[in-house]
Structures are given as structure tokens and as C-alpha cells.
Amino acid sequence: MRGGEAPEKEEVVVMEEFLGPQAEYNEEEEERKYYRRKRLGVIKNVLAASVGAMIVYSVYMGLLQMQLILHYDMTYREVKYSNLGLEDIDRKMLMGINVTPIIGLLYTPVLIRFLGTKWMMFLASGIYALFVSTNYWERYYTLVPSAVAIGVAIVPFWASLGNYITRMAQQYYEYVNYKEEHVQEQKKLPKGACHSYIIIFHSVFHIIFHLSFVFAEFPMRLVLNDYLHESNHILCNVKTCGAAVSGVIPGFNTTVLTRLPRSMLLIQVESVLMGFAFLGMIIFLVLCGAAYRPTEEIDLRSIGWGNIFQLPFKHLRDYRLRLLCPFFIYSGFEVLFAVTGFSLSYGVCILGLKSLWLLIVVYGLSCSVFSSLSLCILRLPRWLCLMSGAAVHFVLLVALLAWSLHIKEPPIKGTWYLGPLIVITVLWGLGTALNKTGVSTLIGMLYAEEKERLDFVYTIYHWWQAIAIFIVYLWSNMPMRAKLSILLATLLVACYCYWVMEHRLARDVRPRLPRIPRPRHKVSSLA
């Protein structure tokens, strides 16, 4: 019996050594490694969302630009689509893209909370891919519905992106300070605790995203540029450029192509763009993690769909959002003016269509590089970023108001004006970078401790931008001086309202925030 007990005791000892605490196991070290992996995951999410958005918009803007140039050419329309009425299709397509987003405030929060932030970004990127696919078969019933779908997706896509980047900053703070009591108990973050991460993450996002202007010009530069006429043909009937222009470019030649691109070449270009559109979708799907914990997602939906629908309107009671609305509108004005107003009525009107890609590339690089300047908010007052961008744009708007060119004996030497146009483009990109990054960062900082409100406030921000896009669409035939005057007036009002907001915050005036109802969880009892 004693001989049989010894093996049993040895087995018990071995089992205790196996199941008991390991001498080499350091719980604190393992916990530290776990949260380090979590922090790396958050950085991966930010980079993935930034690259995904950059790819999606590179494809969208590049295809739309190439499509509009081809459809503008009278020979292309008559030879390839003589009885389709491409001009009318393009007008309705632009109307769908620019007009539909004005109703975005009605459905965006409901969509984001129903689908989740990550899945909303994925679905919206799929709609952009759908728009690319419809260009294989250019018909009214393919192009116009897909353009309307893009108009529906614009506000949810951008509201989800702003919400996602800010949430990543909050998560990064939680993973850095995982030992803090308020983090372990999932309480509201201390005021200003994650501001530095918000500044850094939004800066990184805009540095990467603004490269979309650069990559969007690849189809134009590598494919379409070889088929364009020289400036002396395209601009032969143009008499005025700059501030004296009414519309876009009066007298612009309706024949811009020297010869028609082969259909197979266009299909190959669209296939490459389609591949990148799918790549953007896959990045959102595979590399972007969830913005909220599963329990938080349930709580966000459980306040009731009626409340979710009403809360964006109720948040407009907050004086901070009301006073930032002029900046939201100006933010939409100035980007579209740079890529449609200045680049066409000043750049193309003087240099010719072959130089359009250069101006847009310079603008995109300038926006990307100067977006890093918003990191100065880490050490300097936050108003410096927005006010610096506004000051740069104020000077440029005054200069553009005074710059008009009357062409008496065409063709003019467009290269004489290339240097000044490049300088203005770079400076405008500087102002755009400080403006876009500054506004997104400011919203994140104001609502950093209110993670259940982020989708509402970013929806309001991008909805006002959609209103600005709609206004720019309406003013296309107005005189250039009227457009510049509207921009200048909006900028001055935005600066004044922002100063009032900061003054009230300095006086510690409490904003009127709507109460968010407590989650209502349905509990089913088994009889």
C-alpha cells in the first residue's frame, strides 16, 4: 500500500506545480504587455482609418474629375454618346452629390447608432465603390442613382470618421492610464485628460487624408493629359480671368481633346480605380477595430430611436456649436473654392487645362505638410491654429479680389503667372490645413469627456459643411467677386463668433446640453 501511495503523492505535487502560481509569471508585467498591445492596436486603427479614407477619396475625386472633363468635350459626347444627353446626366449627377446631403441631419445619427461607427465607414466606402462601378456602363439609370447614394453617404461617412478618430484618442488614454480608478470603473474622463491624444490623432488623420488630392490627379496626369489640347486652342476665346470672371471660365473651348481615348484604356483605368476602391473597403473592414465596447454599443442604441433622431437638433442649443456654425460653413466653402473656383477661374483660365493637375497636387501636398502645424496646440493656445489659418485666407481673399486679367491679344504667356499661382496655392493649402485640422480637433476637445455625444456633434459639423457644398453648387454662375465677397464675409463672421465662444468659455459660462436618456434594456422573463 505504501508503495502505491508514493506515485499518487508525486502526481499531486506535479499537478499542484502545474496549476499553481508560476514562479516565472509576473502578473503586472503581463498586464503591461497586454495594454501595450492595446495601444498599438489603437494606433493601427487610426492609421487604417486615415489610409482608407484617403484611398476612397482619391478614387472618387480622380474618377469624377476625369469623367467631367471627358463629358465636357463636345466631340466625345457626339461620337460615343450622341443620343444620351451626357450634359443633362452630369447636371443631375452633380445635383445628386451636392443637394442630397442637406437632409443628412435627419438620418445620420440613426444610421451610425444602428450600424455602429466602424460598419458605417465600411458601408459608406462601399457606396463610393458602387459609384466607380457604374462608370463601366454610363447611363442615366446608373450614374444618377449612384451619385444620389454618394450624397446620402457623405455626412454619415465624415461624421463616423470624426467620431472614430476622437474615440481612438479616448481609448488610447484609457490604455495608458489603465490603473486609474476612473478608467477601471468606466467613469467619465477628467476634463482635458485626453486632449493631447485628440490633437495628435486628428493631425495624423489630416496629414494622411490630404494626400488624396495628390493621388486623385494620377489618372489626369498619367492618362488624360496626353489627350488634351494646348492652352492656345482651349483658351482662344477667353478674354478675362480672375476676379473679373462671371461663372467659371467664359469662352472656354468646348473641344478640349486632341483625340478620343480608347474605350479599352478607359476600362483599364476604371478597373484600377475599382481595385483601389475595394482596397479601401477591405482596410475599413479588416484593419479598423470597433470604436466602442459591445456593452457601450448596446447602451448607445438603447436610449430609443426617437431620442436619437431628436438629439442632433437639441444639441444646437449648445452655444459652442451655434457659434462654431459659421466656421463649419466656411470650412466647406474654402475647400471647394480651392479645387473648383481658384483652380479653374484663375489657374486653368491662365495656364490651360494641362496645368490643372499641378495646382491640385501642390494644394494637396501643402495641406498634408502643413496639417502637422496643428500639433502646436500641444504647447500653444488652441485659438492660434484657427486664427492663423483665417489670417492667411483673409490676406489671400483680398489679393484675389484685386487680381483680374484682361486678355487683349491671346495667347498670353501663362508661364509668367505660374510662380504666383503656385505661391497662392501653397498658402491656401496652409490655411486649409490649419482650418480643417483645427475645427475637427476643437470639436474633439470640447466634447472629449462626452463620448455618448460625439456622433451628434460631428454630424452637426459635417451637416453644415454639406449646406456649404450646396451653396457652392448654387453659386457656380455668379461673378467671381461676389463669390470672394461671400467667402470673406463668412470668414469674418466665423472669426468673430469663435472669439465670442472662447470668451464665454473663459468666463466659465456653462453650455446648455440636452439630457441623454438612460439606456432602456429589455428584459424578457421565462414563464
- Can you give 106-169 as a three-state secondary structure string? HHHHHHHHHHCHHHHHHHHHHHHHHHHHHHHCCCHHHHHHHHHHHHHHHHHHHHHHHHHHHHHH
Residue 47 · residue 168 · CB < 8 Å:
no
Lowest mean pLDDT among 95-99, 200-204, 328-332: 95-99
| pLDDT for res 77 | 80
- Three-state DSSP at 360 gives helix
Is the bond into 411 cis (omega within 30 degrees of 0)?
A: yes
| pLDDT for res 162 | 93
Which CATH architecture describes the domain 33-506? Answer: Up-down Bundle (1.20)
79 has pLDDT over 70: yes
1 has pLDDT over 50: no
Residue 242 · residue 405 · CB < 8 Å:
yes
- Three-state DSSP at 424 gives helix
What does the pLDDT average to over 362-372?
A: 95
For 24-75, write each residue's pLDDT tens digit. 666 778 888 888 999 999 999 999 999 999 999 999 999 999 988 988 888 8
79-83, 190-194, 221-225, 448-452 — most confident range: 221-225
| pLDDT for res 527 | 38
